[in-house]
Amino acid sequence: MSNTIPAKTGEISSEKLSAATTFPNDIISIRVSPNSYFIALFLTTFVSGFLVYLERDLFALTLFCAGWIIFPLLAWTDRIVFDGKRLTRTGFLSRFSARLDSTKYRIRISDIEQVESQALRALKRGGNVFYRYRTTVRGKNLKFVFASGGEDYRRMIHKILPLLPENALDNRSIELRDYLTEPKETLMKAEFARIPSADVLESSLNEFQNAQKNLRVKRGEKMVGGEELEKADYLHQLANELRLSGYLLQSLEAFRRALVLNPKDAWLLFDFARGLHSFAGSEKNEKLRWKSFAVLRLAEKHGRADGALLARLGENYFQYGEWRRAADVFKKAIDTTEVSFRSVRGLAEIALRDGKIAHVIHHFGTANRLAETPALRRWTQNESEYFSRLNSDEDYMEMEISRVNLLESFETAKKTCLKIAFFGFPAIIFGLAADDLITNIGWAVSCVALAVWVGLMLSQNLLSARVPSDIDFEDED
């Protein structure tokens, strides 16, 4: 077990930065999420079944075999590759479509503008939650998406994210950069630190669930020694690693022990609140969720002079739907420290939610002056120009509002069509044994619903991009 004191939350560990840059020519690849290929395979199988129903057996067999050979092969070879300088999409279809519409299929690391990560609860077992992470990298109108599922994801995260400025990463991406580890190694570290297993900790669950009790930590005024601080930092690091690996109960226990040693560490309280909120979500415990907000307030109190922490707190409040509190914390970060990119960007997002376009333009303009990289300056400049055009051109605003409304309508219609299509499947199966008329109705309903679903999906892809802000409208006589 390493005795190295972990880096403070929010900072890039020198070890991880070294690991990302020591072997610049080391090529890493990860398979692209195969959802689109699964959809194509499902549609191919459905059409094959319909051809069998029409007694076109040869065409059905040919289509079925071709689909089950080609699409899995395409999915297997469609990968995102990082060579130390740029991300590249290697799939045949992606390159073919990129050449058709004259777009690129690769992006340099210096051109990455935004990285966003999501955590999806895939499976819950006792106090443990198995997360699946999905990371989206954007830049120069390109988007690369890759999901967790093995060592390739961890290697990609540890290779790319330390090379990017922190202002390009959201809260979850920063955590993945700093704390994503191999789960077995994390459990081994927890065992060496004598953190009990989740089964043992379930018996003390009420300690965290009781919203009326304070945490059992030392709140005395005595000074914390260097050895205690070192141990608290180690437990802090371990708690975050356990949390990202899904061992939530053990993570909370590690946080509790760290707080016993250092109860006024604002970053420690901030991370503990996020862990508490994750556990509350997995347990669907509203009292525990409110307790996580109380811990966030405590972190805000102890970190009132830390602008970086306040900006992260504001983003956290925004993520949890506490928009008014988020705005107050962003303003406090600007008033008590110096104006920061994250705080100004957060205020822009809140102003956008409130429909205050002029404020959005102002905040993005300020963020553009504070941006430390050309990629961030390009992104903030594009956002400022886009919202300026919205604010000054009614025709452009109407077009964008119509586009957004259509996207929302298409999403609702897609879900409805899919439900109708699946409703037709039992009719097809039942009709085969009972009545041809029922089978005909089932096929008709499913075919029409799936055809509309595919059309909506293609239309949604076409409408997903914004109308260019420099487009000119011809004057009508």
pLDDT of residue 468: 80
Tell me which of 178 and 91 has the higher pLDDT.
178
pLDDT at residue 331 is higher than 70: yes
Sorting pLDDT into bands at 50, 70 and 90, what band is 305?
A: confident
Q: What is the number of helices (H) and of strands (E) in the chain?
A: 20, 7
CA distances 393 to 14, 139, 351, 384, 472, Å, are: 48, 26, 19, 14, 11
Sorting pLDDT into bands at 50, 70 and 90, what band is 474?
A: low
pLDDT of residue 368: 92
Mean of the pLDDT values across residues 45-49? Answer: 91
CA distances 13 to 5, 19, 70, 185, Å, are: 10, 10, 43, 19
Percent of the chain with pLDDT over 70: 85
Straight-line distance from the first to the last Cα atom of the chain, in angstroms, rounded to the nearest whole number = 77
List the single range of 259-268, 330-339, 385-394 with lowest mean pLDDT. 330-339
Sorting pLDDT into bands at 50, 70 and 90, what band is 285?
A: confident
Sorting pLDDT into bands at 50, 70 and 90, what band is 9?
A: very low
Q: What's the rounded Cα separation, in Å, for the pair 219 and 62? A: 73
pLDDT of residue 207: 55
Sorting pLDDT into bands at 50, 70 and 90, what band is 312?
A: very high
Sorting pLDDT into bands at 50, 70 and 90, what band is 296?
A: very high
Domain segments of the chain as ranges: 14-34+78-177, 181-301, 303-392, 395-463
How does pLDDT run across 215-263, given as a tens digit for each residue?
444 444 445 667 888 899 999 999 999 999 989 889 999 999 999 998 8
pLDDT of residue 25: 52
Considering 4-8, 75-79, 97-101, the range whose residues carry the highest mean pLDDT is 75-79
Q: What's the rounded Cα separation, in Å, for the pair 160 and 275? A: 25
Q: What's the rounded Cα separation, in Å, for the pair 469 and 381? A: 12
For residue 247, the cross-strand partners are 128
pLDDT at residue 435 is higher than 70: no
For residue 106, the cross-strand partners are 88
Sorting pLDDT into bands at 50, 70 and 90, what band is 473?
A: low
Token representation of residue 316: 């956290």
How does pLDDT run across 109-126, given as a tens digit for each residue?
999 999 999 988 877 776
Mean of the pLDDT values across residues 259-283? Answer: 91
Q: Largest Cα–Cα distance in the chain? A: 84
| Common-topology check for domains 181-301 and 303-392 | yes
List the single range of 222-226, 399-403, 405-409 with lowest mean pLDDT. 222-226
Q: Which of 264, 331, 276 is nearest to 301 (CA)?
A: 264
The Cα angle at residue 144 between residues 140 and 150, in degrees rounded to 5: 155
How does pLDDT run across 79-90, given as a tens digit for each residue?
899 988 889 888
Question: What number does CATH give the domain 303-392?
Answer: 1.25.40.10
Please give the torsion angle defined by the CA atoms of residues 430, 435, 439 and 444, in that order, rounded to the nearest 10 degrees: -140
pLDDT at residue 414 is higher than 80: yes
Q: What's the rounded Cα separation, in Å, for the pair 197 and 32? A: 34
For residue 118, the cross-strand partners are 134
pLDDT at residue 141 is higher than 90: no
How does pLDDT run across 61-72, given as a tens digit for each residue?
999 999 999 999
pLDDT at residue 191 is higher than 60: yes
In one-letter notation, the amino acid at residue 436 is D
Token representation of residue 381: 């400049």
Burial class (CB in 10 A: 0-12, 13-18, 19+), 287: exposed
CA distances 467 to 244, 399, 409, 473, Å, are: 38, 8, 18, 12
pLDDT of residue 384: 92
Sorting pLDDT into bands at 50, 70 and 90, what band is 213?
A: very low
Tell me which of 94 and 386 has the higher pLDDT.
386
The chain-wide mean pLDDT, for the chain, equals 84
State the alpha helices, DSSP H only, in 22-102: 35-53, 57-77, 92-100
Mean of the pLDDT values across residues 354-360? Answer: 91
Cβ proximity of 310 and 264 under 8 Å: no
Mean of the pLDDT values across residues 323-344? Answer: 88
For residue 31, the cross-strand partners are 79
Question: What number does CATH give the domain 181-301?
Answer: 1.25.40
Token representation of residue 465: 């991009």
pLDDT of residue 210: 52
Mean of the pLDDT values across residues 410-439? Answer: 83
Sorting pLDDT into bands at 50, 70 and 90, what band is 17?
A: very low
Mean of the pLDDT values across residues 292-305? Answer: 91
pLDDT of residue 102: 52
pLDDT of residue 101: 58
pLDDT at residue 174 is higher than 50: yes
Tell me which of 202 and 275 has the higher pLDDT.
275
